[in-house]
C-alpha cells in the first residue's frame, strides 16, 4: 500500500524517506494506471520533481515549510491553480486566459510546501454524481475500471485510491467527495461550510464545500489542518481553527451517543450495503459507543435541493449566453432548463432552514448520525444512473448525501466493506455543524478496529 501522508512526513523528518522518491513513486503510479482510469487532466511531472527537490533540501536543512511539505498532491479541476487552466470539464472555458490566482485551499497547500502533481477529472462544472465529460472522457474505478468512480470529484478519489499522490482536494455540492469515496474505498470529508474557504464562489452557492480526500482518516485530519482557515476572499469563511484536527483523534467512541439510521426513513438499500453498514455500526457499539437505531425524522428534501441546484446550473450557463448551444452535457442543459420562480427559491430556503433546525435539535440528543454513504455500489461508466434505473437524475441514487449539503453539516465517508463482487461500500458519519473533529474521531475509531482502508484494488497489485 502507498504510504500515508503522515508517514511520509515523519519519514522526511527522520531522513528515512525522500520527497523526491515519493514524488517519483506517485508519477510512476500515474504512468502505470492513468491510461486505465483517466483520473488526471493535467500532470506536471517536471514541475513536481523540481518542487520535490526543493522540499528535500528544506527537510535536510531542518526548515520545512509546514506539515505537508513534500507530500504528493492532486487538485480537482474545479479549483483555481496559478499557472494552470481550470477548465472544469467544459469546452466553454478559454484555456488561454490568464490563470494567475490560486483557490484558497491550493494557496494553503503551496504555503506548506506540498508537491502538486496536477489536476484531476470532473464532470462538466461538477454538476452530477459521476465523472465523465465530452472534454475529458470517463473516469473509471480503481476496483474495476469499467465501473464509475462516482463524482463529481471522481478523478481525485481514483487518484488517491491508486497511489497517484497521497491526498487530493475535491469539492462537494451534493455529495461530490463522499460519493466517489464510497465507490472507491477511500475517505472523504465534506466539512462544515466555511471551514475550508472557496473562491471563486460556486454557481451552486452555499451548497458547495471543498474537502480533503485521502486513504485514511488520519491523513484526512492532517490535510484538513492545512486547507482550513480564514481567507478574506470567501465571505462565509470561518476563523482559522485554534486546534489541530489531529488532537484527540484517537480518543475513541466510548460513551458517545451514536444514532444509526439504516435508511433515513425513505431509502431502499442494496441488501449487501445494508449488511455491511450494520456490521460497521456493531463494531462501533463494540468499541463502547451508545448506539440507538433511529431516523432523524425529516422527509426527503429533494424538491428543495432541486430548486437550489437547478437555479445554480441555470445561472452558470446563462453566463455563457448563446455560446452554450449543444456544447454542454445534455443532462446539465436539462438541469439548467428547469423553470423555477423566485417564490420557489424562497420556499426552498425555508425548507433548508427548517431542516437545519431539525438536525440542530437532533444533535442535542445524539453526538453523530451514521448512515450508508450510498444505497448501492459502483455501476458501469458512461452513464448517469444505474442500468434500468427509475429516474434519469443523479440525485435519485444519492439520497444520503445531498441533505447534509442543505444543512452544511460535516459528513465523512469511510470504507466499511466489500460486496461479494469486490466493490467498496461506504459508511457516512454526520455531525452537528462545527463538530468536524468529532466526526473524524468516530471515523478514526472505526478504522482503528478494521482494515478496510488498508485493502487495495486488484488494479494496483
List pLDDT tens digits, range 210-221.
Answer: 999 999 999 999
DSSP annotation string for 300-338: --HHHHHHHHHHHHHHHHHTTGGG-TT-S-HHHHHHHT-
Q: What is the pLDDT of residue 208?
A: 97
Beta-bridge mates of residue 171: 210
In sequence order, the 6+-apart residues with CB closer than 8 A to the CB of 341 are none
> How many CA atoms, within 13 angstroms, populate the side-chain half-sphere of residue 70?
29
184 burial type by CB count under 10 A (0-12 exposed, 13-18 middle, 19+ buried): buried
Which domains, from first to last, does the chain contain?
5-460 (3.90.1300.10)
Least confident of 100-114, 119-133, 325-339: 325-339
Give me the catalytic one of 76, 119, 128, 190. 76
Mean pLDDT over 431-450 rounds to 98
Q: What is the pLDDT of residue 48?
A: 98
Q: What is the pLDDT of residue 85?
A: 97
Each residue's pLDDT tens digit, 267-312: 999 999 999 999 999 999 999 999 999 999 999 999 999 999 999 9
| pLDDT above 70 for 317 | yes
3-class SS of residue 138: strand
Q: Cell numbers 496559478 correspond to what residue? A: 82
Mean pLDDT over 236-257 rounds to 98
**Mean pLDDT across the chain:** 97
Q: How far apart are CA 351 and CA 356, in angstroms?
A: 9
Q: Cell numbers 437555479 correspond to what residue? A: 311
| pLDDT above 80 for 325 | no
Q: What is the pLDDT of residue 461?
A: 67
| Nearest partner of 371 among 322, 404, 340, judged by Cα | 404
| Nearest partner of 261 among 398, 358, 370, 182, judged by Cα | 370
Name the grid cell of 114.
506540498
| pLDDT above 70 for 1 | no
Each residue's pLDDT tens digit, 360-394: 999 999 999 999 999 999 999 999 999 999 999 99
Mean pLDDT over 24-46 rounds to 98
Q: What is the pLDDT of residue 326?
A: 84
| pLDDT above 80 for 153 | yes
In three-state form (DSSP H/G/I as H, E/B as E, the rest C), the secondary structure along 51-81 is HHHHHHHHHHCCCCCCCCCCCEEEEECCCCE
Name the grid cell of 1.
500500500
176 included as an active-site residue: yes
Give me the catalytic one of 176, 208, 228, 261. 176
What percent of the chain stands above pLDDT 70? 100
3-state DSSP helix/strand/coil % of the chain, to nearest 5: 40, 15, 45
Mean pLDDT over 187-212 rounds to 97
- Radius of gyration (Cα) for the chain, nearest Å? 20
152 included as an active-site residue: yes
| pLDDT above 90 for 92 | yes
| Nearest partner of 132 among 450, 394, 338, 426, judged by Cα | 394
Q: Are 189 and 410 in contact (CB under 8 A)?
A: yes
| pLDDT above 70 for 225 | yes
Name the grid cell of 296.
432523524
Give me the catalytic one of 74, 133, 152, 202. 152
Q: What is the pLDDT of residue 324?
A: 84
Q: How far apart are CA 96 and CA 98, in angstroms?
A: 7
74 included as an active-site residue: no
| pLDDT above 90 for 16 | yes
pTM of the entire predicted model: 0.98
Q: What is the pLDDT of residue 190?
A: 98
Distance in Å from the first CA to the final CA of the chain: 9
Amino acid at each position: 500500500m502507498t504510504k500515508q501522508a503522515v508517514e511520509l512526513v515523519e519519514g522526511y523528518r527522520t531522513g528515512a524517506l525522500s520527497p523526491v522518491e515519493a514524488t517519483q513513486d506517485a508519477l510512476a503510479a500515474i504512468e502505470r494506471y492513468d491510461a486505465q482510469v483517466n483520473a488526471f487532466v493535467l500532470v506536471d511531472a517536471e514541475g513536481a520533481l523540481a518542487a520535490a527537490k526543493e522540499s528535500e533540501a528544506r527537510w535536510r536543512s531542518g526548515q520545512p515549510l509546514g506539515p505537508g511539505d513534500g507530500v504528493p498532491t492532486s487538485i480537482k479541476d474545479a479549483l483555481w491553480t496559478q499557472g494552470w487552466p481550470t477548465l472544469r470539464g467544459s469546452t466553454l472555458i478559454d484555456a488561454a486566459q490568464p490563470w494567475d490566482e490560486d483557490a484558497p485551499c491550493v494557496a494553503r497547500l503551496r504555503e506548506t510546501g506540498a508537491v502538486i502533481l496536477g489536476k484531476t477529472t470532473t464532470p462538466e462544472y461538477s454538476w452530477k454524481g459521476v465523472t465523465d465529460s465530452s472534454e475529458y472522457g470517463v473516469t473509471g474505478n480503481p476496483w474495476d475500471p469499467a465501473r464509475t468512480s462516482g463524482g463529481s470529484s471522481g478523478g481525485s478519489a481514483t487518484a488517491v485510491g491508486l497511489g497517484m499522490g497521497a491526498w487530493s482536494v475535491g469539492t462537494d455540492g451534493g455529495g461530490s467527495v463522499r460519493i466517489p469515496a464510497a465507490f472507491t474505498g477511500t475517505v472523504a470529508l465534506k466539512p462544515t461550510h466555511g471551514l475550508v474557504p472557496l473562491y471563486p464562489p460556486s454557481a451552486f452557492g452555499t451548497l458547495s464545500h471543498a474537502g480533503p480526500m485521502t486513504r485514511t482518516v488520519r491523513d484526512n485530519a492532517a490535510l484538513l489542518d492545512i486547507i482550513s482557515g480564514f481567507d478574506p476572499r470567501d465571505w462565509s469563511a470561518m476563523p482559522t481553527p485554534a486546534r489541530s484536527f489531529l488532537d484527540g483523534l484517537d480518543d475513541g467512541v466510548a460513551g458517545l451517543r451514536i444514532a444509526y439510521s439504516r435508511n433515513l426513513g425513505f431509502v431502499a438499500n442494496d441488501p449487501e450495503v445494508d449488511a455491511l453498514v450494520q456490521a460497521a455500526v456493531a463494531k462501533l457499539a463494540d468499541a463502547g459507543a451508545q448506539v440507538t437505531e433511529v431516523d432523524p425524522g425529516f422527509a426527503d428534501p429533494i424538491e428543495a435541493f432541486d430548486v437550489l441546484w437547478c437555479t445554480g446550473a441555470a445561472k452558470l450557463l446563462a453566463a455563457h449566453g448563446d455560446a452554450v448551444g449543444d456544447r454542454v452535457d445534455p443532462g446539465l442543459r436539462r438541469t439548467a432548463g428547469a423553470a423555477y420562480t423566485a417564490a420557489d427559491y424562497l420556499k426552498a430556503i425555508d425548507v433548508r432552514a427548517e431542516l437545519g433546525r431539525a438536525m440542530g435539535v437532533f444533535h442535542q440528543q445524539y453526538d453523530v448520525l451514521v448512515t450508508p454513504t450510498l444505497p448501492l455500489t459502483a455501476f458501469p461508466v458512461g452513464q448517469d444512473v444505474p442500468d434500468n434505473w427509475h429516474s434519469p437524475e443523479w440525485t435519485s441514487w444519492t439520497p444520503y448525501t445531498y441533505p447534509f449539503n442543505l444543512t452544511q453539516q460535516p459528513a465523512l465517508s469511510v470504507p466499511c466493506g466489500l460486496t461479494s463482487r469486490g466493490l467498496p461500500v461506504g459508511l457516512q458519519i454526520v455531525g452537528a455543524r462545527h463538530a468536524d473533529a468529532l466526526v473524524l474521531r468516530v471515523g478514526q475509531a472505526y478504522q482503528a478496529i478494521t482494515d478496510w482502508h488498508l485493502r487495495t484494488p486488484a488494479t494496483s497489485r
